[in-house]
Amino acid sequence: MTDLEAVRKQKEHIATEFSKQQKSDPSLQIGWTRAERGSNEYKVIHGLLYKRTKFETNTVDDFALVVPQEHRKDLPIISHDMVSAGHLGINKTKDRLMNYFYWPGITQDVANYVKRCQTCQLTASVKKKRARIITSVFADPRRATYVKYHDRHNGSNHE
């Protein structure tokens, strides 16, 4: 069982309260309306609202639990930072998350989270620094001197 699956089970366990929060979240009204109209996209299962995020099994497994505002905060962290998640990029983090959860604006929320991730930023800056050092070691210093010398003697100002 993955960590996301465990968290989803916890939330399903508190179904009554969770369902109330789903119902009172204005951003989820459109989902409830669509489910009531029998849409293919949203479904109510045991009183909880789900949204189809996959077309693989044609079962409940294709549906993600719709998350009200107050339950969203930790989910990008779990999907991105946990050891099993390994700081994947925006799309993979989102795909992982959407196996289990969905909310309107999830793509933007995941993108914002991943862009601000300190660990990812640190890794990126170490890689850049390493690339700069390698570039300067391999640049030919004689050629740089020659270019400067050459330009000066041609009456050119730029170095």
Yes or no: say if 71 and 7 are a contact pair by the CB < 8 Å rule.
no
By beta-carbon proximity to Zn ion, the closer residue of 25 and 81 is 81
SS3 state at 51? strand
For Zn ion, the closer of residues 52 and 87 by Cβ is 87
What tokens were used for 97? 């998350």
Distance CA 54, CA 69 (A): 22
Shortest Å, Cβ 97 to Zn ion = 14
Residue list 85-104, contact with Zn ion (CB under 5 A): 87
Please report whether residue 119 would count as binding Zn ion according to CB under 5 A. yes
Residue placing its CB nearer to Zn ion in the complex, 59 or 118: 118
Q: At residue 93, what is the residue type? A: T
Q: Which stretch binds Zn ion (CB under 5 A): 3-11, 60-68, 115-123, 131-139?
A: 115-123
Q: Which helix (H) or strand (E) holds 105?
A: none
Number of residues that bind Zn ion (CB under 5 A): 4
Shortest spacing between CB 45 and Zn ion, in angstroms = 33
Nearer to Zn ion, 31 or 76 (CB): 76
Six-digit token string for 85: 């998640």
Specify the stretch interacting with Zn ion by CB under 5 A; choose among 24-32, 34-42, 46-54, 118-126: 118-126
CA distance 27 to 13: 23
Find the shortest distance in angstroms from Cβ 51 to Zn ion: 26
What does the block give as tokens for 127? 């890689």
Nearer to Zn ion, 11 or 96 (CB): 96
Would you state the structure tokens that stand for residue 45, as one six-digit string? Answer: 């299962």
The span from the CA of 41 to the CA of 43, in Å, is: 7
DSSP tag of 69: G
Q: Taking CB under 5 A as the criterion, which residues in 30-89 touch Zn ion?
A: 87
List residues near Zn ion by CB under 5 A: 87, 117, 119-120
